[in-house]
Amino acid sequence: MKFLSFLVSRIGKALVVVLGVVIINFFLIRLAPGDPAAVLAGQAGAGDAAYVEQLRVAFGLDKPIMTQLLLYLKGVVQLDLGFSYRNHVPVLDLILERLPATFLLMSCAFVFSIVLGVFLGVVAAKARYRNKRRWIDSSVMTGALVLYATPLFWLSLMGILLFSVVLGWLPAFGMETVGANLSGWARAADIAQHLVLPTVTLGCFFMAVYVRLTRASMLEVIGMDFVKTARAKGVSPSRVIRAHVLRNALLPVITFAGIQLGQMAGGAVLTETVFAWPGIGRLMFDALLQRDYQLLLGIFLVTSIMVVVFNLLTDVLYRLIDPRIGAGGQQGAAA
């Protein structure tokens, strides 16, 4: 019952957060410079005032701002995110078409960053604690600092130049080979090849954070009394690290991973633009250039829901790993 109450409370707060994000994004978009009706009229080659006004009426831009907000909120409740006047299709259809590509890139980058980051963090912490091969700790931490300080766009461009242009090992752009008409395992292998560079470049930045966080958490836990007690009882060093130190050291890593998933959705915008990856990040960039307000609002709503869901899952996972933590213990992470 306590867990059910915790879950219901979290879901209720998540809905409030999503509603607040929807309202704030609506007003921020309306405050942005540029009239979408004028932009669309200019693209159609008809810039007269009558045609612009006709477009404003067609897209509801002539109504008071509060009326527009209420109509938009009513549509959101009915899963109607509006119509993209630039692409001439419903916004929800466009987002659902691009969402799988973004999920694929984010999940691969997340697994790559957290697995490699935790592993290197454990290696660095063990080398530091045992005072043997201190150069391993220094090398890992220096590499993590360099990756963290390197701009994501520069890393992406250098990856393209090295592995695509110079060495020719990996494709540089797109999700799959255009015109290849592959199917089955051949298509899966082709997508995997195109996925390598975006995954590594997006994951390297977050991997550097996990390395430093895992190392710091392990060095903090490894000197605690319960670890010394386990060693005094004759527990093997590998089991002490795995069952006692790492399990407790991973708690802050899990909390931070949920927050980082939301940031990874933002980083995917730049990565998808550089690598021409057909996800919602690239779609948002195009919508911004085209002043497609309805599409922008829909993308903001979907990405906000993704971030809130990631944080909710993090809270639930944290509670399952360590039931001693009360429902209020992770409120800061959810916020």
Instruction: For 230-274, give the DSSP string.
Output: HHHTT--HHHIIIIIIHHHHHHHHHHHHHHHHHHHHHHHHHHHHH
Torsion of CA 149, 154, 156, 158, to 10 degrees: -110
Cβ pair 165, 173 in contact under 8 A: no
Torsion of CA 152, 209, 308, 29, to 10 degrees: -30
Residue keyed to tokens 């921020």:
28
How far apart are the C-alpha atoms of 74 and 77, rounded to whole Å?
Answer: 5
Cβ pair 301, 22 in contact under 8 A: yes
How far apart are the C-alpha atoms of 284 and 273, rounded to whole Å?
Answer: 10
State the pLDDT at residue 51.
65
Instruction: Spell out the alpha helix ranges (H) of the chain.
Output: 2-31, 36-44, 49-58, 65-77, 91-130, 134-149, 152-159, 184-221, 225-232, 237-239, 246-274, 280-289, 293-321, 331-334
* Domain 97-321 classification at class level: mainly alpha
Cβ neighbour number for residue 326 with a 10 Å cutoff? 11
Query: Taking 70 as the threshold, does the pLDDT of residue 46 lie above it?
Result: no
Q: What angle do CA 24, 26, 29 make, to 5 degrees?
A: 105
Q: Encode pLDDT of 238-253 as tens digits.
A: 677 766 677 777 777 7
Q: Domain residues of the chain, as ranges?
A: 1-91, 97-321
Q: What angle do CA 320, 19, 297 make, to 5 degrees?
A: 115
Is residue 194 exposed (0-12), middle (13-18) or buried (19+ Cβ within 10 Å)? buried
Name the pTM for this structure.
0.73
65-79, 124-138, 164-178, 286-300: least confident range: 124-138
How far apart are the C-alpha atoms of 256 and 317, rounded to whole Å?
Answer: 12
Cβ neighbour number for residue 19 with a 10 Å cutoff? 12
Q: What angle do CA 216, 221, 225 make, to 5 degrees?
A: 155
Q: Encode pLDDT of 63-94 as tens digits.
A: 777 887 888 888 888 887 777 777 778 888 88
> Can you say how many angstroms the Cα of residue 196 is from the centroid of all Cα atoms in its chain?
17
Query: Taking 60 as the threshold, does the pLDDT of residue 330 lie above it?
Result: no
Average pLDDT over residues 144-158: 81
DSSP state of 212: H
32-36, 212-216, 321-325: least confident range: 321-325
How far apart are the C-alpha atoms of 332 and 261, rounded to whole Å?
Answer: 16
Query: Taking 60 as the threshold, does the pLDDT of residue 334 lie above it?
Result: no
